[in-house]
Amino acid sequence: MRNPPPQAVRLADYRPPAFLIDAVDLDISLDRSKTRVAARLAIRRNPAGQAGAPLALDGDGLVLRRVALDGAPLAPEAYEATPDSFLLRAPPEGPFTLEIETDVDPSANTQLSGLYRSGSAYCTQCEAEGFRRITYFLDRPDVLSVYTTRIEADKSEAPVLLGNGNPVGAGDLDGGRHFAIWRDPFPKPCYLFALVGGDLGHISESYRTSSGRDVELAIYVERGKEPFASYAMDSLVRSMRWDEQAFGREYDLDVFNIVAVSDFNMGAMENKGLNIFNDKYVLASPETATDSDYAGIESVIAHEYFHNWTGNRITCRDWFQLCLKEGLTVYRDQEFSADQRSRAVKRISDVRGLRAQQFPEDAGPLAHPVRPSLYHEINNFYTATVYEKGAEIVRMLKTLIGEADFRRGMDLYFARFDGTAATVEDFLACFAEASGRDLAQFSLWYEQAGTPQISVQSDYDAAAKTFTLALEQSTPPTPGQSDKKPFVIPLALGLIGENGDELTLSAAPGETGASGEECARGVVELSTPKRKIVFENVPSRPVASLLRGFSAPVRLAPPQSAEDLERLLAHDSDSFNRWQAAQSLALRSVFARIEAARGGEGADDKAFFDALKRLVEAGEGDPSLVAQALSLPSEIDIAREMGKDVDPDVIYSARSGLRRDLGRFLAPALAEAHARFAPQEGFSPDAASAGRRAMRNVALDLLAAGDPASGGPLAERQFAEATNMTDRICALATLSHLPGAAREDAFAAFYERYRKDHLVVDKWFALQSTIPEVETTARVARLMAHEDFSLANPNRVRAVVGSFANGNPTRFHALDGSGYALLERVVLELDPKNPQLAARLLSALRSWRSLEERRRKIAETTLRRILATPDLSADVSDIATRALG
């Protein structure tokens, strides 16, 4: 039987709930296949809701055991229950208590939503709509309740029992069972409910908040893994301190628990007082974790902790407002990491991520506004647009109104909406009030999808000593939005003089001038389709450094000349734009090589390469910034810049050519840097040490690209002698591009060494899936038959199939269709087990329309065949439908 087509949910249809649930008492008796859930709900009519409505609760696959109203069993004709719904036909007018008992089977839960088992532990994931898989409920974020949870289990199987809030009771029972009672005094929506039961180890620490409250912190992990949780604990303590200092937010319960599990669909979850994490974002040691793993742990720990205020104390009215908590919380975690590490490097890596994930989403058929107005499956809207572009909007808001008004607006938001379920309008109103500025036009950032393009014409008038910038914005059409209104775009800029000095901005009087304030801050606002700005007292032709710090999520066009970019690369005071200049120069070179392959003129890279050489040799400054400048745009970056008729093979060979030539040109400097940044005594995950490793490894990789005969053995040696995972995996990555016995031996040795550590084995799988060779597709099929492969573990599936589809463009887009066929096979096999994960994998095809014709056709046929498959989940059918739309 075919599932009914998923129902469209529209923002415009939002109605307050007809009922409110003030208190929830749960009694949950854990059992592997038959967990009994007894819920007592204190319900009353919502004065703001529809009068006279029946009570309709959500369910999903539930088995109803017993139901009672105000203590008396309900007559069968008084209600109607299916696995997916519960209807109380004529609820009392006054407050009442509804008792419901359901059975759920955690072992059979392969979707990893609701109550499920990960390893030998019980855990839950309720966002977005998992609570209805535990008990019948008003499963919507605007119903806030106080929860008391009694958890009962076999003491030997689950000596640890955790819930939301504070522990208020525990004891032993007959038959080897025991219980714990948890009470969370803060009203919350059910998506923040969580419980954990299992035989787990933990580390703990005491924390005193700025006002002197004591909090017990604990991180629970698989027994034996306790030492691997210390960096996560350190990150947690730093996050708590930072939120007090940067936003005046203190923690509010007596305990804060984090549990790491191996089977998790996403990164982590901010359940009140009981965060549940993908163990990838908890466990680390120098021997097993890379610098980017450490950075990931720090940012995800911070992210989930920061949700305590932005998400939990103030939650979302409905799921259309998801960016209200996610965009804001990503902004907060990015600022935290920037303060803990190097702000410039953090910004570069965030922008790289935004361009790699969000820009393609915004440019393809899955484009949607940061606040969508319609969805079929909410789980498909946990996207780069909602998260990362959502964070950029908050950052722009701060740029536009200034730091002081931004902080006042945040304070107002916390004060006014604490304990409520809010909207984007509520949020913006606080900043409008704090700054006295009308934010109506600014709110278009939440409403209109698509990446604005800004075109720039500049003109220097030597006689008048004026410099004119003519700016123009336009935003391409996106699904359902053909005409776009102009955005308010904060454009941070500066002018670089002939000798590389920063010129003082001075605006010509009159309407073409920038305001004094704009000049002083170095930020101009573009809020109309066009704007012309004239600067005066400009002694000689300057180069404009535009969009400094990536002050808005836009594209700039047309590209600047090579000479201008070289001036910026050498002299810009803005580190981001120095890096951007290197990227732009590399892109020019790649495109020139593509032209040359078609018979056009070749690339002249001399000046660009010389500039990079000076950077490598300079030796002073931040090695991680030099490493970033040497990290060429990825194949995916290049495809995105191409925009249409993308041929991944052409991109691959042009990029490889650039890497080879650059590696040869820089060889002596790279070899020197590789030696200079050799590991020091002792390991530290801090930003400075990570920067040295980044520089060393980018040098190794380029050396090998330039001369495999010398770079290969160097990589082999580094692989064998590495004292930390970053150096080891980077050496293996370099080797992975050099076919031959040495490579296969290294992969075999790596597996032998780490086979017991699933997170490291994921790296082993992922690296093999991204080898850009014809044989890789067959290798991936072999990896999926490996004894360590399982479709039940999302990290493993992402390591093998996700890496292949998103990180191996030439093989995934192979002309014979073998890459798409592999994805199709996995998506269809996975869909009945874990539809969320299947849908995520399928979104690797989101940019199919930008491919050249032959590949485009195969991709389209693949999507159509998937969509025609019977019994498709709502998740996968939604992605396939929109991708084709």
Query: Any contact of residue 242 with ligand ARG (CB under 6 A)?
Result: no
CA distance 856 to 303: 38
- Write down the least CB distance from residue 321 to Zn ion, Å: 13
Residue closer to Zn ion, measured from CB, 315 or 560: 315
Query: Any contact of residue 127 with ligand ARG (CB under 6 A)?
Result: yes
CA distance 634 to 115: 40
- Write down the least CB distance from residue 137 to ligand ARG, Å: 17
Question: Which residues, 284 to 303, sit near ligand ARG by CB under 6 A?
Answer: 303
CA distance 885 to 882: 5
Residue 127 binds: one of Zn ion, ligand ARG, none (C-beta under 5 to 8 A by kind): ligand ARG
Site for ligand ARG (CB under 6 A): which residue of 136, 331, 382, 445?
382
Give the residues across from 200 on adjacent strands. Answer: 222
Residue 572 binds: one of ligand ARG, Zn ion, none (C-beta under 5 to 8 A by kind): none
Site for ligand ARG (CB under 6 A): which residue of 266, 666, 784, 838?
266
CA distance 724 to 552: 37
Residue closer to ligand ARG, measured from CB, 128 or 400: 128
Give me the catalytic one of 99, 304, 641, 716: 304
Query: Segment contacting ligand ARG (CB under 6 A): 61-69, 247-255, 267-275, 519-527?
Result: 267-275
Residue closer to ligand ARG, measured from CB, 262 or 631: 262
| Active-site residue flag, 620 | no
Query: Any contact of residue 357 with ligand ARG (CB under 6 A)?
Result: no
Residue closer to Zn ion, measured from CB, 350 or 574: 350
Residue 784 binds: one of ligand ARG, Zn ion, none (C-beta under 5 to 8 A by kind): none
Query: Segment contacting Zn ion (CB under 5 A): 15-23, 183-191, 323-331, 461-469?
Result: 323-331
CA distance 535 to 408: 33
- With contact defined as beta carbons under 8 Å apart, do 525 and 441 qualify? no
Structure tokens, 65: 């055991």
Residue closer to ligand ARG, measured from CB, 247 or 765: 247
CA distance 316 to 140: 9
Considering only CA atoms, give the Rg of the chain: 28
Distance set, CA 369 to CA 314, 388, 468 (Å): 22, 12, 33
Query: Any contact of residue 270 with ligand ARG (CB under 6 A)?
Result: yes
Place of tokens 């597996």: 751
Residue closer to ligand ARG, measured from CB, 326 or 637: 326
Residue 235 binds: one of Zn ion, ligand ARG, none (C-beta under 5 to 8 A by kind): none
Which H or E element spans position 296? helix 291-306
CA distance 332 to 247: 9
Provide the CB-side half-sphere exposure for 659 (13 A, CA): 24
Query: Segment contacting Zn ion (CB under 5 A): 113-121, 156-164, 327-335, 398-406?
Result: 327-335
Question: How would DSSP label each residue in 769-807?
Answer: HT--STTHHHHHHHHHTSTT--TT-HHHHIIIIIHHHHH
- Write down the least CB distance from residue 391 to Zn ion, Å: 10
- With contact defined as beta carbons under 8 Å apart, do 399 and 490 qualify? yes
By CB under 5 A, how many residues form the interface with Zn ion?
2
> In degrees to the nearest 10, what's the CA dihedral of 299, 130, 101, 176?
-40
Query: Any contact of residue 128 with ligand ARG (CB under 6 A)?
Result: yes
Query: Any contact of residue 878 with ligand ARG (CB under 6 A)?
Result: no
Query: Any contact of residue 124 with ligand ARG (CB under 6 A)?
Result: no
Residue 830 binds: one of Zn ion, ligand ARG, none (C-beta under 5 to 8 A by kind): none
User: Is the bond preceding residue 17 a cis peptide, omega within 30 degrees?
Assistant: no
Residue closer to Zn ion, measured from CB, 326 or 875: 326
Question: How would DSSP label each residue in 16-75?
Answer: --SEEEEEEEEEEE--SS-EEEEEEEEEEE-TTS-TTPPEEEE-SS-EEEEEEETTEEPP
Question: Which residues, 296 to 335, sit near ligand ARG by CB under 6 A?
Answer: 303-304, 326
By CB under 6 A, how many residues form the interface with ligand ARG?
13
Question: Which residues, 151 to 170, sit near ligand ARG by CB under 6 A?
Answer: none
Residues in the chain: 885
Structure tokens, 369: 């506004």
Site for ligand ARG (CB under 6 A): which residue of 124, 349, 379, 631?
379
Residue closer to Zn ion, measured from CB, 312 or 577: 312
Residue closer to ligand ARG, measured from CB, 112 or 430: 112
Q: 71 in the Ramachandran plot: left (φ > 0), alpha (ψ -120 to 50) or beta?
A: left
Question: Which residues, 826 to 845, sit near ligand ARG by CB under 6 A?
Answer: 836
The 3-state DSSP class for residue 495 equals strand
Site for ligand ARG (CB under 6 A): which residue of 218, 269, 568, 629?
269
| Contact residues for Zn ion, defined by CB under 5 A | 326, 329
Residues lying near ligand ARG in the complex (CB under 6 A): 127-128, 265-266, 268-270, 303-304, 326, 379, 382, 836
Q: Which residues are catalytic?
A: 304
